[in-house]
Structure 1
Amino acid sequence: MSNGGRLLVSAVCAVILLLICYPVIVSGVGGTTKQFVCEDGYNGNNTELVLKNALLCGTGYNAKQRPVKNQQDRVAMYIGADVMSVEMVHNSNVKLELTVELSMQWFDFYLHWYKKEHGNINTIPISEQDVWTPTVAAKSLLKSQVQNSNHCFQVKCHLSFNGEVICTMQCTFEVDCLDNSHNWAFETKSCPLRIYTPEFDINQLSLFHFQRRLSYSVFGVHPYKITSFQMAVVNNTVKPEFRMDIVVERMVGSHLVIFLMLIIVLMALNLIITWLRIDSSCRAVLTFASLALHLIYTSILFWYSSTKMESALKLANILVGTSLITVLLVALLVYSEKMSKRESNDAPHLLQTIYRALSRNATLHPFLQLDYISLGNPTIKPTTENVETHLNNHVTEVEPLPTTTTTVAATSNDTLEQVDSDEEVDLANVKWSVFVQPFDRVAFCGIATAYVFMLVMLFLA
């Protein structure tokens, strides 16, 4: 046989094979069972068709009537869902597209048979149009649009000999979401979906949830991720509902983390300020710089929380607390500047009493004796000697600086040791920079405790 003849024979065989398999292919692609058409007196060899004819034809079966013995009875239906995919709707930040496979099971009082009389058939595929099937609708929020069963496809139903009907279908619904910014570093969305039967109330139909393992897709929601997925049946409303609650969240970006790091830096700055001498220019510069930065960042965060995201409000409130502490440090600096200009220390009697109590406490004494930070710079520990004594020689002008630092530190320690002893010390002769040192140590502990408390409240809220 020539090549042309072989090709012709192959083409004819392919056409014959296609004609034979076409009904099977079409049935498989559709994924549904065609509606049964009653034929009076059907006596074919197909046992399933004979059974369907016996159940649906000439019996007065009405697919639109609830399949119960008495009309006051309820249809008990079990319902469940397997989530196939979850995707964000294009160009929308408040909608999810949810594809689920719904499973429904109930008993039809009128559709049952004896297996021995019908070739021991247990189950037959049947169209949802041939049997009573509840209409499914879905709604997300109260103001959301109702989505009917047109969003469902690949409906498959099976009927068992005892009247059990099981239908599965795949449905795609759009779910409206609500923003929930409880966690400051994340954007959280709650997306509820209510599946119900609009034509029946709770006196006609009761829903029960399949006790099957819950599964859902973790893909398709980037940059979000599913953090919670719950299903529940509610029969205490007008319409029985099958509810699905989806919670997705995403990290809103590193900008809030950067703000948190800036807040921690400002907190550390306020703690360092208490370890600089009260009469040093370095302390004055850092104190007012800290106040300015607090005011700027607090304004920015309050603006950001009102225009961008509500979760930044917690960080703004923390900055308000740290700003108040900075204001107290500024007040202490201004008051100390006023007191240091006086010839003698005439501090209020209450402060003198507290000073004596702190200095004489054996437990606190070692901590109160810790000296200020010394950077070897007159701006940190200014000299108390007259500058005119060093104008004659330029070399000798620099040499007394370490001695001055040591002298001031020794004076501070000697004064504290004298107060710690039983000897009475005239506090009027104590320099204000030495007098305020115990209060700086107490302020450091109080500020550190307040900051720890605020950070704990931030992450536990």
Structure 2
Amino acid sequence: MPNGGWLFELVALVVTLGVICYPTVVGVSGGSTKQFVCDDGYNGNNTELVLKNALLCGTGYNARQRPVKNQQDRVAMYIGADVMSVELVSNSNNKLELTVELSMQWFDIYLHWNKKEHGNINTLSLSEQDIWTPTVAAKSLLKSRVQSSNHCFQVKCHLSSNGEVIYTMLCTFEVDCLDNTHSWAFETRNCPLRIFTPGYNINQLSLFHFQRRLSYSVFGVYPYKITSFQMAIVNNTVTPEFRMDVVVERIVGPHLVIFLTMILLLMAVNLVITWFGIDAPCRGVMTFASLALHLMYTTILYWYSMTRMEPALKLANVLLGSSLITVLLVALLAYSEKMSKRDSSEVPRFLKTLYGTLSRNATLQPFLQLEYINLTKPKIKSTTENVEAHLTNHVTDVDPLPAAMASSKDTLEQNDSDEEVDLTNVKWSVFVQPFDRAIFCGIATTYVVMLVVLFLV
């Protein structure tokens, strides 16, 4: 019996401490204001404590009952939300952590006072345990789990003298997202969120949205960009719902890196094209392939910049300039195909003059005489020399220049003394080679200027 009495007293002490401490712990964890404790001794100079005591104590006010006079009446509640941050849930590509600031407003007909009788106090800060507040839960898709208000923090509750209650809190919910198949390459996600009151039906609570809350924060959502944020109130279901449809996509950086990489690759293709012979099949294939890729990618980039991401418009303009250069390469290829079937004497005079001017420039000659890329040239030449020849003769003959290059070199040397260029024995492919080198320099300079302007702007 002595041992049993000691154990009983210990249990009673623990229960007593729990009853005393529970309201305080709940008030601290649930919000910034502690729960008010009624006391008949509030008759001092603290006007707010006296007012709280007059409203909440000895009046029969029950924080668990809806603030309506008749049970068939509905509580009209206004609700809104601001998106504060968007983060990707770790180890998941289809879930986001959405932090929203929920704001709710309603009237409590039992909590109002005369300001003149209570020191002109207009508002009171209360704990959500002191007065009636709705129970909030959230759900994303139909198969998603229900998330309670335990994910909410920084709860604030303000009561006005006319009974208006403004209830705000920050809540972090996991939102299941659906990929948009029409724009999958851009990682666009549609993330619906449903906030509802599981303890009340539409006959007890009606929801309305704040007109001023139909916006979202533009800061704090990195690395995502909210492209659409829509709210809707649904009161025709069993439980009134506040729905948010958030469409997010990755912010400018990752997309523009992909776009810029593709543009740089297309620019490199255009620069390589001029290093193949004008009559080489490889040049024709590369030129038309580059034109097709430029046109297709320019169209896609302009569409994307107009409908989804405006900063991509600058890259679209750069790509348009590269597309025009590709058109010029196609025109040069078509003109060369036409001229290669004619006699060299039919070359326009201004081209002959320009050819002679470029050829007589000693500074440009080494660059203008660079050989075309020859894919058909064998990498290992056969030889009939025997081993003894290599042992006795230490001087080897230098391979002669290709016939086309030799003809080009002879023509360039001839230009040093002749005013007019004789193109009778010069093939069109040799004649156009210096122009290819000049075109290469012009394209490279244009690209550098375009990229510099892009990054400076």
Q: Secondary structure in 1 aligned to 2:55?
A: helix
1:307-346 alignment, distance < 5 Å: 345-346=343-344
8 A contact 1:291–1:327 mirrored in 2: yes
Aligned to 1:19: 15
Distance apart, 1:269 and its partner CA: 2.1
Distance apart, 1:207 and its partner CA: 4.0
1:141-156 alignment, distance < 5 Å: 151-153=148-150
Q: Secondary structure in 1 aligned to 2:173?
A: strand
Aligned to 1:413: 412
Distance apart, 1:91 and its partner CA: 6.6
CA distance in structure 2 between the partners assigned to 1:365 and 1:321 by the alignment: 29
Number of residue-to-residue matches in the alignment: 379
Per-residue Cα deviation, 1:167-204 (whole angstroms, up to 9, x for no partner)? 245473635455499897x63446476879987587xx
Aligned to 1:111: 111
Task: Name the CA shift for 1:287/1:179 in 2 (closer, same or farther; >3 Å).
Answer: same
8 A contact 2:340–2:428 mirrored in 1: no
Distance apart, 1:85 and its partner CA: 7.1
8 A contact 1:136–1:195 mirrored in 2: yes
Question: 1:440 pairs with 433, 436, 447, which one?
Answer: 436
Aligned to 1:352: 348
CA distance in structure 2 between the partners assigned to 1:459 and 1:177 by the alignment: 35
Q: Which amino acid aligns with 1:163?
A: G
CA distance in structure 2 between the partners assigned to 1:87 and 1:367 by the alignment: 59
Per-residue Cα deviation, 1:74-133 (whole angstroms, up to 9, x for no partner)? x8x58554758745498763x5353545233455566312479789994544559847x6
Q: Secondary structure in 2 aligned to 1:15?
A: helix
1:126-145 alignment, distance < 5 Å: 130=132
Q: Secondary structure in 2 aligned to 1:113?
A: coil
CA distance in structure 1 between the partners assigned to 2:411 and 2:359 by the alignment: 19
Q: Which amino acid aligns with 1:269?
A: V
Aligned to 1:372: 369
Q: Secondary structure in 2 aligned to 1:272?
A: coil
8 A contact 2:97–2:175 mirrored in 1: yes
CA distance in structure 2 between the partners assigned to 1:112 and 1:167 by the alignment: 16
8 A contact 2:75–2:106 mirrored in 1: no
8 A contact 1:180–1:189 mirrored in 2: no
1:446-457 alignment, distance < 5 Å: 448=444
Q: Which amino acid aligns with 2:59?
A: A
Aligned to 2:165: 165
Aligned to 1:384: none
Q: Secondary structure in 2 aligned to 1:18?
A: helix
Q: Secondary structure in 1 aligned to 2:187?
A: strand
CA distance in structure 2 between the partners assigned to 1:338 and 1:357 by the alignment: 21
CA distance in structure 2 between the partners assigned to 1:172 and 1:403 by the alignment: 73
Task: Name the CA shift for 1:414/1:438 in 2 (closer, same or farther; >3 Å).
Answer: same
Task: Name the CA shift for 1:165/1:456 in 2 (closer, same or farther; >3 Å).
Answer: same
Aligned to 1:249: 250
Task: Name the CA shift for 1:229/1:215 in 2 (closer, same or farther; >3 Å).
Answer: farther
Structure 1 residue runs of 5 or longer lacking an equivalent are 34-41, 69-74, 219-224, 340-344, 381-392
8 A contact 2:68–2:108 mirrored in 1: no
8 A contact 1:151–1:171 mirrored in 2: no
Q: Which amino acid aligns with 2:348?
A: Q
Task: Name the CA shift for 1:333/1:398 in 2 (closer, same or farther; >3 Å).
Answer: farther
CA distance in structure 2 between the partners assigned to 1:116 and 1:437 by the alignment: 97
8 A contact 1:63–1:130 mirrored in 2: no
Query: 1:61 and 2:69 equivalent?
Result: yes
Distance apart, 1:432 and its partner CA: 3.9
8 A contact 1:97–1:174 mirrored in 2: yes
Per-residue Cα deviation, 1:331-361 (whole angstroms, up to 9, x for no partner)? 677667766xxxxx4353xx32331352476
Distance apart, 1:270 and its partner CA: 1.3
8 A contact 1:83–1:100 mirrored in 2: yes
1:209-228 alignment, distance < 5 Å: 209=213, 225-228=223-226
Per-residue Cα deviation, 1:206-229 (whole angstroms, up to 9, x for no partner)? 5434999987587xxxxxx33459
Per-residue Cα deviation, 1:281-327 (whole angstroms, up to 9, x for no partner)? xx8486478579x59x96xx99xx9xxxx99xx9x999998987777
8 A contact 1:151–1:173 mirrored in 2: no
CA distance in structure 1 between the partners assigned to 2:449 and 2:408 by the alignment: 34
CA distance in structure 2 between the partners assigned to 1:79 and 1:427 by the alignment: 81
8 A contact 1:193–1:244 mirrored in 2: yes
> What TM-score does the superposition give when structure 1 sets the normalisation length?
0.51
Aligned to 2:275: 272
Task: Name the CA shift for 1:228/1:403 in 2 (closer, same or farther; >3 Å).
Answer: closer
Distance apart, 1:438 and its partner CA: 4.5
CA distance in structure 2 between the partners assigned to 1:183 and 1:445 by the alignment: 39
Task: Name the CA shift for 1:44/1:257 in 2 (closer, same or farther; >3 Å).
Answer: same
Identity %: 28
Query: 1:208 and 2:205 equivalent?
Result: no
Q: Which amino acid aligns with 1:412?
A: T
Per-residue Cα deviation, 1:360-392 (whole angstroms, up to 9, x for no partner)? 7699967875532159x9x99xxxxxxxxxxxx
Aligned to 1:389: none
Q: Secondary structure in 1 aligned to 2:11?
A: helix
Pairwise CA RMSD: 6.9
8 A contact 1:290–1:326 mirrored in 2: no
1:115-126 alignment, distance < 5 Å: 122-125=124-127
CA distance in structure 1 between the partners assigned to 2:403 and 2:371 by the alignment: 12
Structure 2 residue runs of 5 or longer lacking an equivalent are 32-37, 43-49, 301-307, 310-315, 378-388
CA distance in structure 1 between the partners assigned to 2:118 and 2:69 by the alignment: 19
> What TM-score does the superposition give when structure 2 sets the normalisation length?
0.51
CA distance in structure 2 between the partners assigned to 1:178 and 1:403 by the alignment: 59
Aligned to 1:37: none
